[in-house]
């Protein structure tokens, strides 16, 4: 997953970015509204964390600008003001959720995961494409009752493919959403991870959960199962 963090307090920004990276996110960060808006317009991302009080361009103006351009990136606003007037103004401007400072990083991560799931049409923290299931909170994955032993990057690839189950995901999109700027973006690496994932998910090659579409990308073929439905 790729996140964009727009926060002018550099220490807080460092902590948020650090926590997101620790959770396996690729992160871009900006310390003012202008630069943040540029990142949101130019780089793909799965979630944006925007502080409301920003220099140059306020958080509300940034959100307004991207919504006017038709972007539906999930936006979590950070605000030091806890009054409902400020929360409603932020949500009216196009934000999807708010977090009042100071906050616990567990809560921030939980809300970010909800926003990402919601944007992909999932309502539960447990993503199920039977028989494969993924718990986005504990970051554990299963095939039926068998727990998979995935590396952090294999988990990231599987989570992204399952969140977008049924959709064709190109190698470029996968790379952009999973790698940091400075990281190696050689598309061969993706192929290696896909091959390993296939082996771990489907050692007997009965399900073939990840389909390769020549020249187009990959598709997670197992059907979504909504919890409680």
Partner 1 sequence: MIVLITFMILTAIVLERTVGQRALVAEEERLQLLIYSLLAAVDRNRAGMSITISANRLFENSLMTRDSGLYAILYNADREQIWRSRSITQELPDIEKIAPGDWQFKTMEYASKPYFRLAFAIQWPDVRDRLQRYDVVIWQDAGDYFEQLDRFRQTLWTWLIVTIALLLVVMYLVMMWSLRPLKQVGLEIKAIEDRQQTGFEHDYPREIAPLTENLNILLSREQCQQQRYRNAMDDLAHSLKTPLAVLSGLSDSESSARVDLEVLREQVDSMNQIVSYQLQKASSAFGAKISKPVDLVQIIARIVSALDKVYREKSVRVETGLPPAIMLRMDESDCLEVIGNLLDNAFKYSRGHVVISASEAATGEIKLTIEDDGEGLEAKEIEQILNRGTRLDQVSEGQGIGLAVVADIVKSYNIGMAFKRSVLGGLGVQLLFQTV
Binding site for partner 1 (CB under 8 A): 82-85, 87-88, 91-92, 96-98, 100, 102, 114, 117-118, 123-124
Q: How far apart are CA 220 and CA 162, in angstroms?
A: 6
CB-nearer residue toward partner 1: 102 or 203:
102
168 contacts 219 by C-beta, under 8 angstroms: yes
The CA-CA-CA angle for residues 224, 227, 229, to 5°, reads: 90
DSSP type of residue 87: H
CB-nearer residue toward partner 1: 121 or 211:
121
Strand residues in 113-216 grouped as ranges (E):
126-129, 132-135, 140-143, 146-147, 168-169, 210-213
Smallest distance from the beta carbon of 115 to partner 1, in angstroms? 10
Smallest distance from the beta carbon of 96 to partner 1, in angstroms? 6
Smallest distance from the beta carbon of 84 to partner 1, in angstroms? 3
CB-nearer residue toward partner 1: 92 or 186:
92
CB-nearer residue toward partner 1: 81 or 200:
81
Q: How far apart are CA 171 and CA 148, in angstroms?
A: 23
CB-nearer residue toward partner 1: 98 or 160:
98
Smallest distance from the beta carbon of 89 to partner 1, in angstroms? 9
* Long-range contact pairs involving 82-89 (C-beta distance under 8 Å, separation at least 24): 86/52, 89/60
Smallest distance from the beta carbon of 108 to partner 1, in angstroms? 15
Q: How far apart are CA 124 and CA 142, in angstroms?
A: 16
């Amino acid at each position: 997953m790729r996140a964009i963090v727009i926060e002018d307090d550099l220490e807080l920004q460092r902590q948020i970015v650090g926590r997101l990276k620790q959770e396996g996110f690729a992160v871009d960060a900006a310390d003012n509204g202008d630069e943040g808006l540029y990142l949101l317009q130019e780089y793909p991302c799965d979630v944006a964390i925007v502080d409301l009080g920003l220099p140059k361009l306020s958080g509300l103006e940034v959100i307004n600008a991207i919504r006017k351009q038709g972007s539906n990136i999930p936006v979590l606003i950070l605000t030091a003001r806890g009054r409902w007037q400020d929360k409603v103004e932020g949500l009216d401007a196009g934000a999807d959720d708010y977090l009042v400072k100071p906050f616990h990083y567990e809560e921030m991560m939980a809300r970010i995961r909800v926003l990402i799931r919601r944007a992909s049409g999932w309502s539960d923290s447990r993503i199920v494409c039977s028989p494969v299931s993924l718990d986005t909170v504990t970051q554990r994955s299963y095939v039926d009752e068998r727990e998979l032993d995935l590396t952090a990057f294999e988990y990231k690839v599987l989570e992204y493919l399952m969140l977008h189950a049924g959709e064709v995901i190109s190698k470029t999109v996968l790379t952009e959403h999973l790698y940091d700027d400075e990281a190696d973006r050689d598309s061969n690496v993706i192929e290696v991870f896909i091959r390993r994932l296939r082996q771990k998910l489907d050692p007997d090659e009965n399900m073939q959960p990840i389909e390769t579409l020549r020249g187009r990308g990959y598709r997670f073929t197992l059907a979504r199962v909504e919890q409680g439905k």
